[in-house]
Amino acid sequence: MGGWAGWRRWGGWALAVAVALWILSAPGERGALTDDERDYAQAAIHLLRHGVFSHAPDSESPAPDAYREPGYAAFVAAVWRLCGADPPARPEDLVRGGAAARRAVACLGSAQRLLLAAAAWAAARAARRLGGGRAAAAAAGLLTLTSPALLRLSGQLASEALAAALLTSAALVLAALAAAPWARSAAAAGLLLGALVLTRAAFAYLVPLAALVPLLGGAAGGRPGRRRLAGLAALLAGLALLAPAAWAARNAHRFGHWALAESRVVPLARAELGIDVAREGPWAAALAWTPGGLAGDLHRRWFPESRLDRWRWSGPPEQTNYFVRAVRRHRELLGDGGDRLAADAALRREALAAIRERPGAYLLALPPLLWRGLFAERSPGWARPFDLALPLGLLLATGCAVALGRALADRHGPRLALLSLPALSYLFHALATEQLPRFHQPALPLAWAAAAVLLIPRGAAPGDKLKGRAARVPGPAGEEGRPVREKWEGPVEMVVLLDEAGHAIGTAPKSEVHHAGTPLHLAFSLFLFDREGRTLLQRRSFAKRTWPGVWSNSCCGHPGPGEELAAAARRRLADELGLAAEEVEVVLPDFRYRAEQDGMVENEICPVLAGRARGEPRPDPSEVAEIAWHPWEEVLSVARESPERLSPWASEEARLLAGAPRFASWWERAISGSGGPRRA
């Protein structure tokens, strides 16, 4: 079997095997440990050897501390224990040790590649959430897997590797929670956010904001009560704060300070940075932080007295930059064996005092810091001697901005929830830190998802030319109508506008069609059956603008310009329910209806199709809140006796299908002919 059909059958398995081999492959040679890597390795070694969380140099009885968050060190220790690797005696042995150290490095590398694979899967799901098709989802996953920055993290002892998987997964679950306010989604989001905070304490501010996500679903759907929404918010926040609060209580008990970890020089460095930017100007700072050799050369030529990149650890303060001054002050406060958490608190107070004294300098640093944060992605090695960090950063920023703008314009709660974590992280670091690009590497999978949706519009194959084309649009009875010329613009879903005779007269974006004066347009409804004659009903997501939370037929949608009804039904069925179908036919070609709810009007010529399901449903929570299989006669009984229990179109369609000759013929062939029951 060749071609596309062969790929559909065997390509998924081949890709899974390739990813498995990639995960299990041993990392390459590496250089000396960085300070951060040494700290994490030391903490993991002490956890395994002594059961103590400490970053102290190797000793028989290390003193507990709160220098860093415990999440990543606990992850490293768990990986070594699970794979049976002996922890090295010292962190440096990971580089120059023997077979045992190489095994520990290989185990950790495989585990972190597994984390990257999980982040890639979540990025693919995020691309679908953002309105992308299968091609965009595949591109998002592959771009995440091959991201130079994320690949580099997977070969290091870096907490960002764990944070990337946690942040992407948490954002995906929050989107599901906004689509359908279920307790399991709130609990999963809370647990993921709690693990994220224990890995990177800077993400703690996301918890109260994430607790507002259920309100997005409630506002869109209007169904869940305030008490239920408040309960979901409390569940999410409680589970998210449970483990971090326990760790902060441990630090308060042992060291007298409620803290998750030391913030070290970060707050004071941010305050001092504002002073440097005010002295040199925001343009000098933006140029200093632009990646690429040309930008560096221009910065040195145009601003020869700049301190921003002057790393002199001796001499007067005017010869050093903001970070060096902050480190010097930290050393002064710490002294010999001083209280690290007390020094940490003193630095924060000094930072706040400096900001209050010069608020203008603090605000002036925001634009160049926002620019600096765009370049979390690294340039790939194959691009040398060129540095692609600048164009890659601009591409990711554009994708995120476009996706966020569309979500805001459409008031799309799930997409807003999905993008809220990286957007808020970006703003927070500009306000509270020096905005190092690596701070944003955990958000790269979501950024690549947004970029993939921008680059590969829905409904276009990767090699297609996205140009306007003439196409014939089927009329209500399945015959071809008049030609329509449509220019596809990104992942915007277009619907076909009709005149009273059912002929196509133009197109319009779906987001602009449904309102109080909805024009007549083309749609379709699908009733999906299994071989036993049961039909699949879906409960529409609470995030839907029309008839949220209402039970309806298997699937509805709008065919695009030039798209056949059966192809549109299969596409929408795969998007909403993760199902394939066979024997898909138009069985009620002339159905037309108009319905109104809360000022929203449906006005459609809506041919009805029937099909037989193949596979198990995997509903998209942003589209479907619940599914259920029911005998067809039971559905007919509800449509006749209690039509208000179904959507207005579904109840009317079911009643009409009961006497439709085409549907009777289809049933005999597709259901009764395959061993199913005959119609009553």
- For the question of residue 305 being annotated catalytic, the response is no
Residue 246 near residue 191, CB atoms below 8 Å: no
Q: What is the spatial distance between Cα 565 and Cα 287, in angstroms, rounded to a whole number?
A: 54
User: Measured between alpha carbons, how far is residue 168 from residues 286, 451, 519, 609, 634 in Å?
Assistant: 29, 15, 39, 37, 42
- Kindly report each contact of residues 378-383 with a partner whose C-beta sits within 8 Å and lies 24 or more positions away, as own/partner: 378/148, 378/149, 378/152, 379/148, 379/291, 380/148, 381/148
**Which member of 434, 604, 623, 652 is catalytic?**
604
- For the question of residue 556 being annotated catalytic, the response is yes
Phi, psi of 508 (to 5 degrees): -155, 150
Strands (E), 261-354: none
**Which member of 400, 555, 556, 606 is catalytic?**
556
Residue 283 near residue 295, CB atoms below 8 Å: no
Percent helix, strand and coil across the chain, each to the nearest 5: 55, 10, 30
**Interior angle at CA 548, CA 517 and CA 551, nearest 5:** 115
Instruction: Report the Cα 479 to chain-centroid distance in Å.
Output: 42
In the chain, how long is the greatest CA-to-CA distance?
Answer: 94
- Nearest Cα neighbor of 483 from 475, 493, 494 is 475
Helix (H) or strand (E) holding 93: helix 93-96
Residue 94 near residue 33, CB atoms below 8 Å: yes
- Nearest Cα neighbor of 389 from 302, 322, 296 is 296
Catalytic positions: 556, 604
